[in-house]
A and B are shown apart, each in its own frame.
Chain A
Amino acid sequence: MRHHFWKWPIPVYLFLGGLGGGIFCLSAVLSLILFPGIEAVPTALAWPCFIGICCLGFGCLMLVADLGQPMVFYRAFVKSTSVLAWGARLLTVCMIFGLLWFVSYVPWDWFRPVADLFVFFRGLNLAIAGIAGTCIMLYTGIFLSTLKSHAFWATPALPVLFTISALSTACAAIALSIGWWPATTSIFTEAGVMNILASQECKHILHTVDVVLVVCEIVVLLVMVLSFLGAGNKTANKVAHKWVHGSYALAFWGGMIAVGLVLPELMYIFLDGTIASSVIAPVFVLFGGCLLRFMVVNSDERAPLPGENEYFNKVAKRDAEFVTKWTYGENIY
């Protein structure tokens, strides 16, 4: 069967898109809902959001690079109904408003006049970017789950899983990067102290949230995979077997469940306050999220047509000698 059409840029994009979207979602929630009016919180979140923008931008780059005809990518904005087109628009919106929001925090003196222009719109910009980010998070999973030909994707659990994973990785990313430039990091200024306080508070909240999210993710992932294993149609069942005790078992149990979820969860709970909880665990979570996207995207088995596999096993390889030997237009004799 012909499959694995999507190469590595796509799972990378799905991961980065979810991550970036999640960062904006959480930043908006923290700044506008949990700590409204406390300027130190959004300032501390400026750097994580910048990383979010980079993630989205790099993700977009991946996406465009993966196209066979990148020069016509703009067409994705023309038609309105497809999930993918919506995704493209959300990405753009999120990046533009996120950037405008971030710009207003850039502390360089020469840049002041520009930055000042956007200060007034900070709340609005972040709100828009946050909503768009939330939608991006949701859409990556929804997009795959609408491709019904792949039984393993066509489940409502997948958007849930992707959203949880996106939030969880966003928590981890924010925890790793909150409070850096352009926030004042000097502890000798009031702003610096506020920044540290705000960062600590946010980290604390995110830590708690992530503890919950990781548990949720484990539950959803196991429910999804094990329900495919137990029931599900033939194709999904086959994939689930591959995950649980097939060729993906090591990546699944060792990589995703153990390293990506259980270990950081344990570190979060039992090693709270150590570097294991503040640095290693988030890195593991990010790794787990990335691995999840790869494994899911590569599980794109279709229900094969009768004899399809045998047929495509028999046809030549694209690099067979007789394929590459002759080029039309040349004459040998």
Chain B
Amino acid sequence: MTRYVMVIDQRRCIGCQSCTVACRTWNELPLDIIYNPVLTEGVKGEWPNVHRNWIPTLCMHCEKPACVPCCPTGASQQDDDGTVWIDYDKCMACLACVNACPYGMRDQSKLQPALHRFVRKCTFCRDRRQNEPGRDPYCVQTCHQKARIFGDLDDPESEVSKLIGSVETFRLLEDMGTGPQIYYIPDLGGTAK
């Protein structure tokens, strides 16, 4: 079996938002759609002993996605490899999934013609992977810092398996119980110890 996950290394991320823009251009997204915002909690601490982390996000491709069972048309679906994606031809934009997602990672564009809207979100660049197995999602490739690492969690030799096995990681909103598959390696260092 294959189980695609992403590891995000906060020790490396510098908040440049390249992934955000890269995703936008590769997927030809309307302006108001952002698949992978790079969030930050802001600077913590008192000047000059401050520290900051960035939290790059994207669809969590949950183990038990909240967005799939609530879809009335079956447009939202999950592949065997864990990829959650939307068949745009089936989506009627009822927004049930948008409201179901605990991470707010789905949205429809208001800049598209009113009667041709559908819900979108990150698909781990399904098009790239399907056409050329082994090709990383575009946000992974474009990251200068290599802060995003993509791979198969079921393959014990993959970089993601090794990282998750060896370094302490956390996941966002784990208590929502959807089993998010984006793992974060925290940056505890910086100048503020």
Contacts and interface: CB of A to CB of B under 8 A. Distances in A.
Nearest to B53: A306
A68 B176 contact: no
B118 A315 contact: no
Nearest to B114: A68
B66 A68 contact: no
A307 B104 contact: no
B111 interface: yes
A315 B33 CA distance: 11
Interface string A297-318: 0001011011110111001101
B147 interface: no
Contacts, number: 134
B108 A311 contact: no
A69 B110 contact: no
A110 interface: no
Given A67-B94, A69-B92, A315-B34, A306 B41 contact: yes
Nearest to A83: B70
Interface stretch (B1-9, B95-103, B121-129, B154-162): B95-103
Given A306-B55, A308-B104, A68 B93 contact: yes
A307 B118 contact: no
B116 interface: yes
Contact of A68 (B100, B115, B173): B115
B69 interface: yes
A79 B107 contact: no
Interface stretch (A123-131, A144-152, A179-187, A270-278): A144-152
A76 B70 contact: no
A85 interface: yes
Given A3-B104, A76-B94, A147-B99, A305 B70 contact: no
B92 A84 contact: no
Interface in A279-328: 300, 302-303, 305-308, 310-312, 315-316, 318, 323
Contacts of A6: 95, 99
Contact of A149 (B31, B57, B71, B101): B101
Contacts of B104: 1-3, 302, 305, 308
Contacts of B107: 2, 5
Interface residues of A, number: 43
A70 interface: yes
Interface string B27-56: 000011010011111100000000000010
Given A150-B99, A300-B99, A306 B71 contact: no
B14 interface: no
B135 interface: no
A72 B89 CA distance: 9
A97 B116 CA distance: 33
Contacts of A66: 94
A79 B74 contact: yes
Name which of B40, B89, B94 has the most chain A CB atoms within 10 A of its CB. Answer: B94
B90 interface: yes
22 contacts: A3-B104, A5-B107, A6-B99, A66-B94, A68-B93, A69-B92, A69-B115, A72-B91, A75-B72, A78-B74, A79-B72, A82-B69, A84-B70, A85-B72, A85-B73, A88-B72, A147-B66, A147-B99, A148-B176, A302-B104, A310-B42, A323-B111
The 3 A-B residue pairs with the shortest CB-CB distance, nearest first, are A68-B117, A68-B93, A149-B102
Given A68-B108, A84-B70, 15 more contacts: A2-B107, A5-B95, A6-B95, A68-B117, A69-B92, A76-B73, A79-B73, A147-B100, A148-B102, A300-B99, A302-B102, A302-B104, A303-B173, A305-B172, A307-B39
